[in-house]
Amino acid sequence: MEFLFILLALVVICGVVAVPALRRRRAEQDAVRGAGAAVDPVGAFGFVPPGQLDVRLPGPDPELLAAVEEARRTQDWKPASELLARTSATEAAELRWQRVQTLAGAAAQELAEAPGTGGMWLRHWRVVAPKDAGGAAVQAEFLVQQALRDPSSQDFRMILEEARTVCAEAALLAPGDPVPYIVELGVARGLGASEAEFQSVWETVVSRAPQHMGAHLAALRYWSAKWHGSREQADAFAQRAAASAAQGSLLPALPLFAVHDHLPDVQLVRSLFQSAVIRQAIEGAQFAVANAPEDHPVLPHVRHLLVWFLVRADRHGEALEQLRKVDGHIGAVPWTYEADPVAAYTAYRAMAVAGWESGRNSA
Residue 22: the pLDDT is: 37
Identity (one letter) of the amino acid at 222? Y
Q: Residue range 281-306: average pLDDT?
A: 97
pLDDT-derived band at 229, boundaries 50, 70, 90: low
The verdict on pTM exceeding 0.85 is yes
What's the mean per-residue pLDDT of the chain? 88
pLDDT-derived band at 4, boundaries 50, 70, 90: very low
More confidently predicted of 229 and 18: 229
Q: What is the DSSP string of 162-216?
A: HHHHHHHHHHHHSTT-SHHHHHHHHHHHHTT--HHHHHHHHHHHHHH-TT-HHHH
**Cβ atoms within 10 Å, residue 93:** 23
Residue 43: the pLDDT is: 63
Q: Residue range 333-347: average pLDDT?
A: 95
Residues 178-195: b if buried by 16+ CB within 10 A, e if exposed = bbbbbbbbbbbbbbebee
pLDDT in tens, 135-156: 999 999 999 999 999 999 999 9
Res. 81: pLDDT tops 70: yes
